[in-house]
Amino acid sequence: MRAMVLETVGQNLNARDMPIPKPDADQVLIRVEACGVCRTDLHIIDGELDNAVLPLVPGHEIVGRVAALGSRVSTLTLGQRVGVPWLGSTCGRCHYCRTQQENLCDAPEFTGYSINGGFAEYCIARAPFVFPLPDDADPVALAPLLCAGLIGFRSLRLAEPATTIGLYGFGAAAHILCQIAVWQGKTVYAFTSEGDTFSQDFARQLGAIWAGPSSTPCPVLLDAALIFAPVGALVPIALRALRKGGQVVCGGIHMSDIPSFPYADLWEERSIRSVANLTRQDGRMFFPLADQSGVLTHTTAYPLADANRALDDLRHGRLNGAAVLVP
Ligand SMILES: [Zn+2]
Ligand SMILES: [Zn+2]
């Protein structure tokens, strides 16, 4: 049996027929129902991240059905709906794995980056790293939760106990987070690029109390600013919007350089931090919360074979919500 995968060696994606792989003892074979397109996929294909193992099948927002079980897998069943996130595997032995920081593991594998991902009809994943997902939900709607939602949620969690929050860059992650934060009773301010009134309206529809361009000073002081746009210049801007003791949390894997700024802007215990990857505990907290809060993801579905068009639309900001590939 063979199946189609979309592979990159850089620049773009090429369709290839490959034999359907067999799962090892602790792996499962998954028939992909939908796979989200994340900005990280774009960074990988455009060569902005160093450690991608090429040729590579990208994609780390995978929703699918278990199609075959490895001999030692007892936690999942054939036909079950599961999700495969960015964190594909950890060593389980390093300092970070032993101290509840498996997101920082010294020898991790990342889906669609160091191991093949979900821009394909079938993929392989390690069973302990997949999440059970609701059987009756639309797989396209679920896909963006696997990275934009999950890593966005980790950013929100690290910003706790913030209740007044700024979201900088209103794309796939922010549109999910905005709904969850509002559901949690937080007040959300949304910042977009200049003139992007479409995203500003979208943010207000999703419950943001205010939305405007990031060049406009924030109307209030924020407890936390979460940056999802890969734009380093937003860091000093967001820092100036914080109250004393507030935090800037950078949610992306890649960002342009951060311009210098006066120490006075950081003074009074303001801080800047990044968010790297996710832990399985983040997923155990996030997926029930996404379900309870009734998050609606806004997506544009593309046939798997049209992945290059989806990437191009993301690259040029022609998307509202998230692109999702459907095999
Ligand atoms: Zn480790
Ligand atoms: Zn991602």
Predicted pLDDT of residue 253: 86
Q: How far is the CA of 96 from the centre of ligand 1 (A)?
A: 6
Q: Write the pLDDT tens digit of every residue in 230-280.
A: 999 999 999 999 999 999 999 988 899 999 999 999 999 999 999 999 999
- The pLDDT, as a whole number, for residue 78 is 98
- Position 51 scores a pLDDT of 78
Q: Which ligand is nearest to the CA of 105?
A: 1
Query: In the 8-state DSSP scheme, what is residue 207?
Result: T
Q: What is the pLDDT of residues 266-279, one digit of tens each?
A: 999 999 999 999 99
Single out the residue of 296, 291, 300 nearest to residue 206, CA to CA: 296
CA distance 324 to 219: 35
Residue 1 has pLDDT above 90, yes or no: no
Give me the long-range contacts of 258-266 (CB less than 8 A, separation at least 24): 258/232, 258/233, 259/232, 259/233, 259/235, 261/235, 261/236, 265/236, 265/239, 265/240, 266/239
Mind giving me the DSSP string for 54-111?
A: SSB-----EEEEEEEE-TT--S--TT-EEEE-SEEE--S-SHHHHTT-GGG-SS-EEB
At 160-217, the pLDDT tens digits run 999 999 999 998 899 999 999 999 999 999 999 999 999 999 999 999 999 999 999 9
243 Cα–ligand 1 center, Å: 36
Q: How far is the CA of 110 from the centre of ligand 1 (A)?
A: 13
Place of tokens 């798997």: 304
Q: What is the mean pLDDT of residues 125-139?
A: 96
Q: Which ligand number lies closest to the CA of residue 58?
A: 2
- State the pLDDT at residue 319: 81
* Ligand 2 center from residue 269 Cα (angstroms): 30
Distance 311 CA to ligand 1 centre (A): 32
Which ligand number lies closest to the CA of residue 277? 2
* Residue 320, pLDDT above cutoff 80: no
Residue 317 or residue 271, greater confidence: 271
| Distance of CA 41 from the midpoint of ligand 2 (Å) | 7
Task: Compute, in angstroms, the gap from residue 290 CA to the centroid of ligand 1.
Answer: 28
- Give the mean pLDDT of the chain: 95
At residue 10, the pLDDT reads: 85
Q: 245 is written with which tokens?
A: 């003791």
Q: Tell me, in angstroms, the distance from the centre of ligand 2 to residue 150's CA.
A: 9
The answer on pLDDT for 317 being more than 90 is no
Q: pLDDT tens, 2-59?
A: 999 999 998 899 999 999 999 999 999 999 999 999 989 998 999 888 878 899 999 9
Q: What is the reported pTM? A: 0.94
d(CA 198, CA 211): 10
φ, ψ dihedrals at 38, nearest 5°: -105, 155
115 DSSP assignment: B
116: CA distance to ligand 1 center in Å? 20
Judge whether residue 146 has pLDDT over 90: yes
Residue 189 has what pLDDT? Answer: 98
Provide the pairing of β-strand 109-110 with 87-89: antiparallel
* % pLDDT > 70, the chain: 100
CA of 48 to the centre of ligand 2 (A): 14
Give yes or no for a cis peptide into 21 (omega within 30° of 0).
no
**Which residues on neighbouring strands pair with residue 36, listed in sequence order?**
324
Extract the tokens encoding 191.
Answer: 């910042």
How many Cβ atoms are within 10 Å of 230's Cβ, its own excluded?
19
Cβ–Cβ < 8 Å for 34, 63:
yes
| Cα 179 to averaged position of ligand 2 atoms, centre (Å) | 19
Task: Please compute Rg for the chain using Cα positions.
Answer: 19
